[in-house]
Structure 1
Amino acid sequence: MIHAKWILMAAGLALLTACSSGEDNSAATEKEDTEEAATETAGENTEEVTDETTDEATEEKDIEEPEEEPEEVVETEPLYRVNPVNASVEPIADANAQTVLLTIDDAPDKHGVEMAETLKELGVPAIFFVNGHFLDTDEEKESLKKIHEMGFAIGNHTYSHPNLKTITEEQQREEIISLSDLVEEIIGERPQFFRAPHGVNTDFSRALVKEEGMVLMNWSFGYDWEKQYMEADALADIMVNTELMRNGANLLMHDRAWSAEALPAIVQGLNDKGYEFVDPNEIEGVQE
């Protein structure tokens, strides 16, 4: 009887142990399955994200921004040339012959900006020939900038306005080159025209000007340094009605109060006579 009892107890204990072990194994199996599934899912998600990121990066790399096309440089043929003998401006081919060129020396003194503003308002082009001794201060340099920014051509009139025949070749070089350097420093470009003080050139200055790529220029007539024309009405009258007036005339004035005052009447008088004003940029030898 006892023997049977112990047999039954042993069997029950074995059965209980087997059930417990089965539950543990099942739980472990489920845990492993869950972890494996999570790992696979994470791997799949990682691959998807990686693929998407790679695709986006590839697409961004493949999409290249269009290159900006360089602005087309339109080369224009010059319409006029300066006569080296008499400094007049002559038409090339079919350009209008009834024209004059307006130039202003000794700028920018006290009235250069005012004269530029007047001409700008009237729609008249001109060349402002500058001297270095009018570019000593920041205010004077700013005046040159303003004249240039209004669209007017800038010419070289030497640094200190000497008679070139009275100084050495090395001094001539210094007078011309140092001013071109200074002008370039102020406005970002070198002068493209040269006019010698007093209209006096030398063989050396002519060769140097040519080497520097500037257009050598003198003038046809001018009066505003003469005492009887240091008044606006008298100056306007002689500039318009002088017997020296002809097609292509190269008109000289200076940065002076009476010249500034006479400008509107001079422009109007020349227009009334049918003259147009040459754009300096249309003169042969000017680099666009």
Structure 2
Amino acid sequence: MKQVVSICGVTLISALLLSACQTNDPVASGTKSDTSSLTQSSESDSSAMNVSSESDSSEKGTVAEESQSIEYTYQVNPAIFTIEPMNEADNKKVALLTFDDAPDKHAVEIAKKLKSIDAPAVFFINGMYIESDEGKEMLKEIYDMGFEIGNHSQTHANLSAISPEEQREEIVKTNELIYETIGIKPRFFRAPFGVNTDTSAEIIEQENMVFMNWTYGYDWEAEYQNPQALTDVMLHTEYLNEGANLLMHDRSWTNEAVVGIAEGLREKGYTLIDPALILSPEREESTK
């Protein structure tokens, strides 16, 4: 049987998780690496503005009003990270698309392809990729297309191998960079390699975020680093079940496969869940 990454059970296989985010994309550089524009909006500056900035403020206000009316109808199962309806009557056959290591090389193009077929997703951000002006512009472009933005740490460090102070820096600095760039703080956190700690749990609680690992993913394995093989395994794995939380990455082969994966899930009867509907703690002010 082919070896896969899955945490659909309560237990985790540490060695596989530590490998899950390591790929050798000859096109992409760097190491491995959440809030939807529908759900969060920064407060507009009330100081003197020109006509253009007043228009921007009006648009942001509209989004903020809409976000207040959104009712959370799904939640992340904290034990196995499936996406589950909060009401038994709601659709259970859903799948969530997620992409780590953004925005390195291919995230914007992946987002454009998903947008063209109206497929929602979460893009998990490494802070190191948005320290440059180019990275900030890529993040803005993804966010402006309406995608949920998540936190995937600053440098993609294994949190269990660094100090509590360093863990805080990894998480909080990325939150701050994301807020500075798009005016929101992420609602979801995904730890590098899926490795969470007691310290990271405390920080996530303080930051009013939700842990979101995954249920399966394959694009980090050499065997699936081509679009045909990746599409096939993502659609036919035994781990594709109700509430599947699909792990993918900012990689060239994933970019080529993403439309086939999304459309294939729909053909199988899965609804691609809008992350805006997934429960997260309410925060006081996005600037805190």
In structure 2, the residue matched to 1:13 is none
C-alpha distance in structure 2 between counterparts of 1:287 and 1:138, whole Å: 30
% identical equivalent positions: 50
Once the two structures are TM-superposed, the CA of residue 275 in structure 1 deviates from its matched residue by: 0.3
Q: Deviations over 1:20-45 (max 9, x none)?
A: xxxxxxxxxxxxxxxxxxxxxxxxxx
Secondary structure of 1:103's aligned partner: strand
In structure 1, the residue matched to 2:79 is 85
Secondary structure of 2:234's aligned partner: helix
Q: Find the partner of 1:265 among 257, 260, 269.
A: 260
In structure 1, the residue matched to 2:197 is 202
Q: Deviations over 1:100-137 (max 9, x none)?
A: 01100000010000000001001011000010121132
In structure 1, the residue matched to 2:230 is 235
In structure 2, the residue matched to 1:149 is 144
Once the two structures are TM-superposed, the CA of residue 210 in structure 1 deviates from its matched residue by: 1.4
Unaligned runs of 5+ in 1: 1-69
In structure 2, the residue matched to 1:169 is 164
C-alpha distance in structure 1 between counterparts of 2:272 and 2:127, whole Å: 27
Q: Find the partner of 2:115 among 103, 115, 120.
A: 120
C-alpha distance in structure 1 between counterparts of 2:281 and 2:150, whole Å: 11
Paired amino acid for 2:159: L
Equivalences for residues 43-62 of structure 1 within 5 A: none
Q: Find the partner of 1:276 among 271, 276, 283.
A: 271
Secondary structure of 1:100's aligned partner: strand
Higher RCO (C-alpha under 8 Å, 6+ residues apart): 2
C-alpha distance in structure 1 between counterparts of 2:199 and 2:244, whole Å: 26
Unaligned runs of 5+ in 2: 1-60, 284-288
> Is 1:76 the counterpart of 2:70 in the alignment?
yes
C-alpha distance in structure 2 between counterparts of 1:178 and 1:246, whole Å: 35
Once the two structures are TM-superposed, the CA of residue 286 in structure 1 deviates from its matched residue by: 5.7
> Is 1:95 the counterpart of 2:90 in the alignment?
yes
In structure 2, the residue matched to 1:37 is none
Q: Find the partner of 2:209 among 195, 211, 214.
A: 214
